[in-house]
Amino acid sequence: MLDATPATNADWLESMMDRGPVAPPSTWVSAGDGWRLRTLAGDVPMAWDHPVEGIGAAEAGAFAAWRGGRLPTEEEWEAEARAAADERPWTAPEGYGTSPAGQGHDLFGQVWAWTTSRCEDGRRVLRGGSWASQRETAGREARLVLAPSSRLMATGVRVARSL
């Protein structure tokens, strides 16, 4: 079973403060008294209730363990996608960016979700699409493979829990 929403920036900060993942996401910019969010439109105030993005597979796995869970397998993600029959991909305003987590469209089109599934060459599978995906390519069938160290702007995490 997957968490209802992807991990947020606030969740990630809490983990960092508790010695969870060791590094801030690639989309975070230190602002002296806190953090700002790097977007395609430039650096903006941190959106704490939006999905965290810009993290690699190892960081995503460390965060999931800190939350008492793990990364899902690709098959677990697909089972969750089948259960979300009425969910439609997120369409970002002005073509880029996430929306607050928990306001719908969280499984498809917010951020690509890391899984534990691997390709033969060692790359890891991400599912769901992101705000940067074309609307037609985000959804149940959306699949991306990246090197585990990739920290692309639109990569995030959704925690799986065993029943």
CATH assignment of the domain containing 61: 3.90.1580.10
Residue 140 placed within a domain: yes
Q: Is 133 inside a domain boundary?
A: yes
d(CA 104, CA 112): 15
Task: State pLDDT tens for residues 72-103.
Answer: 999 999 998 888 766 666 666 665 788 899 87
Which residue has 């230190």 as its token pair? 30
- Domain-located, residue 163: no
Q: Crossing angle of helices 9-17/57-66, nearest 10°? A: 80
pTM attached to this predicted model: 0.92
> Are residues 37 and 28 in contact, defined by beta-carbon separation less than 8 angstroms?
yes
Count of domains in the chain? 1
Structural domain contains residue 1: no
Domain boundaries, position 99: 9-156
Q: Which residues contact 76 (CB under 8 A, 6 or more apart)?
A: 2, 115, 160
What pLDDT is recorded for position 83?
Answer: 85
Dump pLDDT digits (tens) for 2-60: 998 999 999 999 999 997 676 899 999 999 889 999 988 899 999 999 999 999 999 99
Closest among 63, 65, 72 to 114, alpha carbons compared: 72
Q: Which two tokens stand for residue 56?
A: 């690699």
Helices (H), the chain: 9-17, 57-66, 74-83
Q: The tokens 């439109």 sit on which residue?
A: 41
Token pair belonging to 67 = 């939350």
Q: In 3-state terms, what secondary structure has residue 156?
A: strand
Q: With 0-12 CB in 10 A as exposed, 13-18 as middle and 19+ as buried, what is 123?
A: middle
Q: How confident is the model at residue 140 (pLDDT cuts 50, 70, 90)?
A: confident
